Structures are given as structure tokens and as C-alpha cells.
Structure 1
Amino acid sequence: MTRPTSHSAPGAAVRLRLAATGLALAGLLGTVVLDAPSAGAATYPSWDEVMAARGQESAKQDQITEIKGIISGLSAKVKAAEAEAQRLGTEFFEAQSDAQDAAEKEQRLRADAEEHADVAEQSAAQAGQFAAQMARSGGADVTASVISGGEDASDLLYNLGALSKLSEQAERVEAAATADAAVARSLTAQADRAAEALDELAAEAERRMQAAQAAADAVQSAYDEQQSNKARLDAQLATLTSGRVRTEAEFAKGEAVRKAAEEKAAREAAARAAAAAAAAAANSGGSGSSGSGSSGSPGSGSGTGWVRPASGYVISPYGWRVNPYTGAVALHQGTDLTSGCSTPIVAAAAGTVDYVGWYGGYGNYVRISHGGGVQTAYGHIVNGGFRVSPGQHVSAGQLIALVGSTGQSTGCHTHFEVHLNGATTDPVPFMQARGVAF
């Protein structure tokens, strides 16, 4: 996934829309209520009511209409919540992109200021050496020393010329030191102003993230309600529309079989994740050969507390490229791995989950904070593939999601990012410095 070179709305527009965030959330709730009955508003029919309606044609048709309406309403509620979550998730992405740009600018200015300050310090030291050299030639009265020290006219002229050149060189070095010091002060002042702008943009991004997270939570709530009721409603509808009588007991038996299968699948997935984590702990020599050809398993690492987030080799590195989805040249702010569809994505290190939801062209997205200004992020997660919640603490190698192709993606893969103090950095050397190869 590549962040577009130009956002669909500029930073100023993002800030102007910020005031509407609360209204947007209110709109989400209003949309949910108007578009579909909520759990409180809907009166779900009981099995006794369904069975009683079978014997009366008019009552049966009314019951069929009611159940179909509830099923449709549940589906509409999920779709409305998903649309709102994607809208707010895209606005969060745009605001976060502005903040990342500001962080990168501030870091560049700081680095340039430090570089000029170092040069100024070196030039000042060199100027001091020249001054000391001149002082050693004659103390306080250098000129008198040069004149009296010569044995004849040629010596005098040579000494005067040498003194003149030494003096000129000292002046040039001192002037350069003064200029570099002035540039360093100017760049520091610019960096300070950039930091102030960054604080505002970061706060805006945080507010956008909270709005997007609330919308993502609403999607999960709507989906959970749909899943918990739709199977029963479908069974009740089949009872009314088919010639076969289905009972609550039969439905409950079928649900027990289904849930047992789901629990078995969950146990197997947990066992696979545990095996991957155990392999990571046992692997003290890294995850294989370094470079883009490496394709280690998720959870493999080197005992540093950092592990590989997903399987596959690097198909698109960090840096400028032609976005395969949009065709535009843009900075690819992460590393893409050739992970298979619905394969595990694990936490690259221990930390706290701070976002789980839609994130613009990255689709379904998880971000984890590891402390010290370090964050990792994982994009294009499959729909229904989240395995963590906001605020949850995770350990290195813990299953957090499943690979997908949501957002601006041309196929299943893992988009992995590393953020340092609000700006992105190349994940490959960052992870290699921590003993994890890609």
C-alpha cells in the first residue's frame, strides 16, 4: 500500500472538518437507528410465536415479513456502520499523514541544525588554533615580533606575508564559523516552529483516530448483533416458509455443533501461534539469511524482543515507487511481504494496541505502541481478521490479525510499518538492527 502523493483533502480542509467529528459520530448513531432497527428497538420473535403463526396463514405471512425485515435491517446496519467507519478511517489517515509529514520535516530541520552547529564548532576551534599560533609567534605584539625577528629585508617580507595569510585564513574560518552558527540558530528556530505545528497536527490526528475507533467499534457491535441473531432468524424463517417444522431444540443442537467447530478451529489457530512463538524463543540465531529474499515464519526472531510480523519475502520495499494500485509515484511508507491470504500476523514486539480499524488505502489496520516513540503498524488485514482490541497489551509473536487485501491492494500481502517519533522509517534495517531478517 502506498500513501498517495496528494490527499483527497488538504491539511487545512482536514482541520476545518475536525469540528464536525462529534456530529459525524452522532450521525453514525442516527444512521444506525434510521436505517435498521437496533437491538433495543427490534422485537425478535420467539420460537413459540413462530410455531403459533404456522397454523394461521395471515399470521404466518406477517411473521415472515417481520423476520425478513429484521434480517435486512441487521445487514443494512452493518453496511451503514462499515461505510461510516471507512469514511472516518480515511479522515484519520489524512490527518495522520499530515502529522507524519510534519514530524519528518521537524526531524530533518533538527538534523540540519545539528550538522551546521557541529561545523560551526569545528570552525571556531580551528580559528582558535590560528589565533594561538599567531600569539605564539609574538605574544601580544605579533607585528613587532615579526619585524624584529627577521635577519634581513627578505626575511621581513616573508614573515609579513606569512602573517598576512595566517590572519586572512583565521578571519575566513571565523567568518565561516559565525555563518554556520547563524544557520544553525535559524534552523533550530524553524524546527521549534515545526514542532509546534506538529503538536497541533498530532492532536488532530489523535482526535480523528478516536472518532475512527468509535466507528470501528460500532461496526464490530453491529456485526456481533447480526451474527448472534441472524442464524436463529434464518431458522425461524425456514420453519415458516418450508413444509418442515423446525424447533428451538433443533436449532440449539445445530448451533452447538457450529460453535464446537469454531472453538476447535480457534484452538488449532492458538496452537499454531504458540508453536510459532516457541520456535521464535528457541531461535537465537535470527530468522534466516538477511535481505529481500528471506521468507521466515511469523514470530521468528533473535531473542532481542523483536520478531518477524508475518511470513513471506519482501515484494515492495520502503521508499519511492509507482503505486501498483493507483499508478502514481509516491512514498511507500512500509515494507510489503508476500504473506498468504488469512495467514497469521503477529506483534513484532511487546506493546499496547492503540488502533484497530479502517485506515484509508491501508484498509483494515492495526497499530501498536512499544514505548520510546516507537510504533509498528500492519495493513490490508482481511475483513473479520482482527484478533486484538484497542488498549490490549500484546507480547512479541502474539497473533493480532489475519492477512488480507483490503484497501488499496492488488492481492493478499502484509504491509508492515515502523514509526519513530511520529515519522515512518524503513522497517528492514530497523528490524535487522534488532536481529530480525526480512
Structure 2
Amino acid sequence: MSRSVVSAHRPRSASPGRRRLLATALAIVGLVGSLVLDAPVAQAASYPSWDDVVAARGKESAKQSQIVEIRGIIAGLAAEADAARAEAERLGEAFQEAQRDALRAAEKEQALRDDAEEHAEIAEASAAQAGRFAAQMARSGGADVTTSVITGGEDSRDLLYDLGALSKLSEQAERVETAATTDASVARSLTAQADRAALKLADLAQAAQDRMGEAQAASDRAQAATDEQEGNKSRLEAQLTSLTSGRATTEAQFEKGERIRKAEEERKRKALEAEIARQLRAQQAAAAANQGGGGSAPSAGGGGGGGAPVGSGSGSGWVRPAGGWITSGYGVRVNPYTGAVAMHDGLDLGSACSSPIVAASAGTVEYVGRYGGYGNYVRIDHGGGVKTAYGHIVDGGFRVSPGQQVGAGTLVALVGSTGNSTGCHLHFETHVGGGTVNPVGFMAARGVGF
């Protein structure tokens, strides 16, 4: 409240006691307003400064209080990061379950439509055959045969033979017509079932999309919590060491040590990235040489071309997503991790740990996060109902983010063994029209072998 507003309501001749009371009231109002306006925004933690630590060293009670506070902050950061990762894991599992329901529903709908189409084609063929029988009967005289038997004019044995033949034709025509009617009815029933399945699929697909959004948000929160923890842990631990060891570590000393540590981490990171880039260039060069040399056509079988390098393709705009042989194919199998019989929606490539994973084709990154038993997972939308997915990525191995545009051969992640995995490998999926298809046949049709 401003002084002008207060003075407008103040009596012209107030007593000294009244003026002192009013001044006190104004001071209280100002203090409360200041506390409200200057209140800090809620945050994950309030971190002590090095000045706080240095000041606390001179007094034992203050030092112990500071030690307790710092230990609490460190524990709180770790707990928050763990909780965020657990939530990301939980929502990633929910996303996988919802997506699995949508995949199975899409496959059921497609199977019903395929069956309906097959029965419709059979019904059409049967109807055509019945028409041919009718035409043949008409050409043979049809009802005129009976007249010929009564009036004579032909050998009766020939006429009886013709009559028997027409009777057989009539029976066959009737059976074919009945079969055509039945198949047409079955086709209509299957189409109706497929239409109902499509409505259910739409709901399941939307549910999967919703779960994906929740899982992506949780993965982002987990990464933010991890970054918060890692960004402050070393400084807090250095402050704690300064208080507990009796050695007076200052902010300047800490910053110097941090610069050395971060420089070494950056050197190692660049060396790793350079090695990954070198591997990728070498493998892509080998792939180009193989294609230029007129190598054998990609095999549709499980083992053909299994040693082909990552990035190999045929100029179709599609490339091999990783190196290694196929260690587990597409289809129902006994899960080597859980021992349960379940659908394996992709194929596994026995790629080396931390080796590159590249986008199989150009598209938009749709998801980057946890995905149930497939651990760290990336999915790319290539348009036209076609998507590819990459699982078991190593922790810290993402090289893309949601919404990013990528080209065929763009580095998207590094091979790992997260989730339900017994060793480093890439789990690779191809999605078409809402369901999964065998990546071997899908990629072979695009000139890429495994």
C-alpha cells in the first residue's frame, strides 16, 4: 500500500499517539507484503553456499547442523531421482501393456478382414460357376428335354441320358449356389466382426497413445531429476567433506577440481563419440562397397546376410539399423528372460555393447524412454502407418529426442542390455497399420538383408 493512499484516509489533526500507532500498523503491513512478494518459488532443494559452509566451520553446533542439512539434501536428491525413475519404469510398463493390446487388436482386425475377403472371393467364384452351370443347362435344352421324351423324335435312350445329365448339372448348380450364398454370408459376418474390432482398436490405440504421452513425460521428469542430482551431488559432497574432515576446502578449490574433473569427462566423452562415429563410418563404407560390388541379394531367411554392417541398404531409403547376426526371430517363442511363451514383436540382433543404432529410414522420433521389458526404447514414425522401434538401449545411450527429424542412417542410440535382457543386443521392430510384421520380410522387400 502506498503512502499517498494511506494519507488520503488519515485525519488532518491526529494525536502523536495515534500517529505512532498508525506508523506501527503501516510497518507491519509493509513487512507482511514484503514477505509475500519476496517469498521464494518452491524448488526441489535449497542448496547451501560455500560461504555458509565456511561460516559453519567456526562453530561446532552450526557445523553439525550444516552437516545434517547437506546429508539430508543429498539423500533427498537421490530419493527424488529414484522415485522419478521408478515412476518412469511404471508408466513405461503401462505403455507397453497398452501398446501390446493395440497391436494384438490390430492383428485380429486384419485377420478378420483377410478372412472376409477370402470368403467373398470364394463366394464370387462360386456364383460365377453357378452361372456357368445355368448357361450350360440352357444350351442343353433345359425343360425342352421332357417335351422331346413325350413327343419322340429322338432315341429314347439318348433322351434319358440327356435328362440324367441335366439332373446332375442341376444338382451341381444348386450345391455351388448354396456354397456361394454361405460364403457370402460368412464374408458379411466377418466384415461386421472386423468393423466392431476396428472400433475397439481405435479405443485401444488411443489408450496406447495416452500411455505413451504419460510415459514420455515421466521419462523426461526422471532425466531432469537425475540431472539435478548429478549437477549438485559433487559440490554437496565436497562441502560435506570440508565440514567432516577438518580440511578447509573453499569454493575456489572446489571449482578448480571440478574443472579438471569435467575436462577429463569431456575428453572421455569425445573419445567415445569419436570411436562410435569411426565405427559407423567404417561400417557404412563397407556397406556401400558391398552394394557397389554387386553382392548377393538379401535373404529372407533368418541367417542370410547376418554379418551385414549397420547402415547397409540398397538405395531404397532403408538401411540396416545395427550390426550382428539374428539371435531371436519374430513370432511366438519362449522368452529367454522370463521363461514364458509370448509373442516376440521384433527380431534381436546380437550387436556389441555401446555399438551404434541408426534410424532404419527417415522419419520423426515419436518416443524416447522406458518401455517395459524392452528397457530404454526409441520409436520412429516414418509416415503412412509405418513405424520402427529399437529396444534395450544402454542407460545414457539416447542420441535423439522426441519430435526430432532423422534420416536413414542417423545415429539414434547405443546398444545395451536394459529391461528384460540377458546381454547386449538390439531388439528391432517394424510396425505397419497399427500391428507388427516380421522385420526380415519387411526389410527384404526394401532391399535390406540381415
CA shift in 2, pair 1:41/1:156, >3 Å = closer
Distance in 2 (CA, whole Å) between partners of 1:367 and 1:41 is 31
Distance in 2 (CA, whole Å) between partners of 1:100 and 1:330 is 13
1:236 aligns with 239
Distance in 2 (CA, whole Å) between partners of 1:74 and 1:244 is 25
1:265 aligns with 272
Contact 1:135 1:142 in 2 (8 A): no
Contact 2:287 2:308 in 1 (8 A): no
Q: CA deviation at 1:199?
A: 0.7
CA shift in 2, pair 1:360/1:260, >3 Å = closer
More deviation, 54-63/224-233 = 54-63
- Asked if 1:203 corresponds to 2:202, the answer is no
2:313 aligns with 301
Q: Of the two structures, which has the highest relative contact order with CA contacts closer than 8 Å and spacing of 6 or more? A: 1
Q: CA deviation at 1:159?
A: 0.9
1:18 aligns with none
Distance in 2 (CA, whole Å) between partners of 1:149 and 1:343 is 92
CA shift in 2, pair 1:140/1:161, >3 Å = closer
Q: CA deviation at 1:113?
A: 0.3
1:115 aligns with 118
1:21 aligns with none
User: 2:46 is matched with which residue: 21, 33, 43?
Assistant: 43
2:365 aligns with 353
- Asked if 1:63 corresponds to 2:70, the answer is no
CA shift in 2, pair 1:143/1:380, >3 Å = farther
Distance in 2 (CA, whole Å) between partners of 1:257 and 1:189 is 66
Q: Deviations over 1:415-436 (max 9, x none)?
A: 1111111111111111112111
More deviation, 385-394/211-220 = 385-394
> Which letter does structure 1 place at the counterpart of 2:116?
A
- Asked if 1:391 corresponds to 2:398, the answer is no
- Asked if 1:225 corresponds to 2:228, the answer is yes
Describe the SS at the equivalent of 1:300.
coil
User: 2:260 is matched with which residue: 251, 254, 258?
Assistant: 254
Q: Deviations over 1:1-51 (max 9, x none)?
A: xxxxxxxxxxxxxxxxxxxxxxxxxxxxxxxxxxxxx98241222233333
User: 1:339 is matched with which residue: 351, 375, 379?
Assistant: 351
Describe the SS at the equivalent of 2:337.
coil
User: 1:158 is matched with which residue: 157, 161, 174?
Assistant: 161
CA shift in 2, pair 1:286/1:368, >3 Å = farther
Q: CA deviation at 1:268?
A: 4.2
Larger radius of gyration: 2
More deviation, 41-50/313-322 = 41-50
Describe the SS at the equivalent of 1:266.
helix
1:15 aligns with none
Q: Deviations over 1:74-99 (max 9, x none)?
A: 11111100111111111111111111
Describe the SS at the equivalent of 2:389.
strand
1:356-395 equivalent positions in 2, closer than 5 A = 356-395=368-407
Distance in 1 (CA, whole Å) between partners of 2:149 and 2:81 is 92
> Which letter does structure 2 place at the counterpart of 1:96?
Q
User: 1:400 is matched with which residue: 402, 412, 419?
Assistant: 412
Contact 1:403 1:412 in 2 (8 A): yes
More deviation, 71-80/145-154 = 145-154
CA shift in 2, pair 1:132/1:398, >3 Å = same
Distance in 2 (CA, whole Å) between partners of 1:161 and 1:216 is 79
Contact 2:330 2:347 in 1 (8 A): yes
CA shift in 2, pair 1:226/1:412, >3 Å = same
Distance in 2 (CA, whole Å) between partners of 1:342 and 1:66 is 39
Contact 2:70 2:236 in 1 (8 A): yes
Q: Deviations over 1:254-312 (max 9, x none)?
A: 24413531344334434544554555556535798634331222222221111111221
User: 1:430 is matched with which residue: 442, 446, 450?
Assistant: 442
User: 1:125 is matched with which residue: 115, 123, 128?
Assistant: 128
Contact 1:387 1:401 in 2 (8 A): yes
In the alignment, structure 1 segments of 5+ residues that lack a partner are: 1-37
2:14 aligns with none
1:409 aligns with 421
Q: CA deviation at 1:130?
A: 1.4
- Asked if 1:77 corresponds to 2:80, the answer is yes
Q: TM-score, normalised by structure 1?
A: 0.84
Identity of matched residues, % = 67
Q: TM-score, normalised by structure 2?
A: 0.82
CA shift in 2, pair 1:393/1:283, >3 Å = farther
Contact 2:390 2:427 in 1 (8 A): yes
- Asked if 1:245 corresponds to 2:249, the answer is yes
In the alignment, structure 2 segments of 5+ residues that lack a partner are: 1-40
Contact 2:142 2:166 in 1 (8 A): no
Distance in 2 (CA, whole Å) between partners of 1:40 and 1:172 is 80
Describe the SS at the equivalent of 2:395.
strand
Contact 2:145 2:159 in 1 (8 A): no
- Asked if 1:310 corresponds to 2:322, the answer is yes
Q: CA deviation at 1:150?
A: 6.2
> Which letter does structure 1 place at the counterpart of 2:266?
A
CA shift in 2, pair 1:145/1:43, >3 Å = farther
CA shift in 2, pair 1:366/1:113, >3 Å = same
CA shift in 2, pair 1:235/1:287, >3 Å = farther
Distance in 2 (CA, whole Å) between partners of 1:307 and 1:299 is 5
CA shift in 2, pair 1:162/1:385, >3 Å = same
CA shift in 2, pair 1:61/1:149, >3 Å = farther
Contact 1:146 1:160 in 2 (8 A): no
